[in-house]
Amino acid sequence: MATTTVRTVDVHPDLPVTFTEARSSSGTGRTVLVLHGGAGPAPFAGLVEHLAATGAHVVAPVHPGWNGTPRPEWLTGVDDYALAYLHLLQDLGVREVAVIGSSLGGWLAAELVVRDLGGLVTGLVLLDAVGIVVEGEPVVDVESLDARALAAHTWHDPRRGDVDPARFTPEQRAVREANTLTMRRLKDGRGLYDPKLRRRLGRVRVPTLVVWGESDRLVTPAYGAAYAAAFPDARFEVVKAAGHMPLLEQPRATLALVDEHLRRTAR
């Protein structure tokens, strides 16, 4: 049975980072940092629970500015978030960390690992990540899509994501609007990428697993293959009958890939 707590650590005097910390009572495994995507942390609750059940020490932050958490005005770039999470890992006193990031969280994970000059990270998993530039494979701007088109681009089975925003409660609507505003600041009028990141990944020596949903039309599998090719030591795996969030549509297949990679990269 996993024990789950919510903690807050001030990585700067004006930057509190709130995170879920989970581990089983007998857990002695490595630390796994889970970085959620633009939809917020809720879709990754199952991953956190699964990892804790396998013995991992799971740290799953809410990105500052998401879900009503405070974000100082200076926190505007993905590099700021990446450094904040490196500082969090240092403050927690952990070593040999595996990092798992999905979509926007994958971008954060990639930016984190290129800045990890101290060798904290020993394994990396990217799930349908954004963050690099691939000629001919642009990342679709979700704000350009209505609800039905977004579902069609995101899910293998669009019926799973065909939700009418008019049915949201005022509280749900307020959270979504705040999350969207924070995402806009990260895009900085440019898009969900860092033009320098792809080249920098060539210096990363961390064993990397890049997992992609076969039906992802926000960020295509061709984009994912290019992402994996940018690393010196990466494996690319495609999950069938899954879109942008294979953890939700094909959890068994996706978790099997993640578990195997974490075993392979454990010291």
**pLDDT (tens digit per residue) in 245-258:** 999 999 999 999 99
Say if CB 213 and CB 246 are below 8 A apart.
yes
pLDDT in tens, 38-63: 989 999 999 999 999 999 999 999 99
| Residues with Cβ within 8 Å of residue 121, at least 6 apart in sequence | 97, 98, 99, 112, 113, 206
Q: Residue range 205-232: average pLDDT? A: 98
How many whole angstroms from its chain centre is CA 210? 12
Q: State the CATH class of domain 2-265.
A: alpha beta
Question: What are the extents of the domains in the chain?
Answer: 2-265
End-to-end Cα spacing for the chain: 25
pLDDT at 166 over 70: no
Strand partners, 59: 21, 33
Whether the per-residue pLDDT at 174 is higher than 90: the answer is no
The DSSP call for residue 184 is H
Q: Check: CB of residue 48 under 8 Å from CB of residue 74.
A: no
Strand spans (E) along the chain: 2-12, 15-24, 31-35, 57-61, 97-102, 121-127, 208-213, 234-239
CA distance 182 to 66: 7
Condensed to tens digits (0 to 9), the pLDDT of residues 185-202 reads 888 767 889 999 999 999
Q: Are strands 15-24 and 2-12 parallel, antiparallel or unpaired?
A: antiparallel
Separation of alpha carbons 199 and 62, rounded Å: 28
